[in-house]
Structure 1
Amino acid sequence: MKNRGFAMTKAYQVLNEMDSQYPERFATNARNLLNGDKIKARRIEVPRKQRKHWLS
């Protein structure tokens, strides 16, 4: 996958942003993201079960 490096860099960037906003959820968010939730360039797919936490 050509963009894997970029996607992972973006994932960690987003995780760092989430860590500063929602420190209590960081471990869960990181585990879910890195366990294969879909990472796309410029857009992170938020799992349905997490969406209510992130967007509340």
Structure 2
Amino acid sequence: MSKSKDRIDYENYVFINYFFKNYINKKWLKLLRIQCYAEQVIQDISNIAQIRGISNINF
């Protein structure tokens, strides 16, 4: 018996809300923000290096 799309969407919505409210606290969100920022900085440095023709940068 297949579920309707609306029912599946609702169950996903409930699960995601429950997950975020109960498992992801402010420390995790802070770490995720720091990680995203670091990845952006690395990407920017790589782009600048590519433009300048530097190819031996390893992270």
TM range (shorter): 0.3 to 0.5
Structure 1 or 2: more strand by fraction: 1
- The structure having more radius of gyration, on CA atoms, is 2
TM-score for the superposition, normalised by structure 2: 0.39
Task: Identify the structure with bigger relative contact order (alpha carbons < 8 Å, sequence gap 6+).
Answer: 1
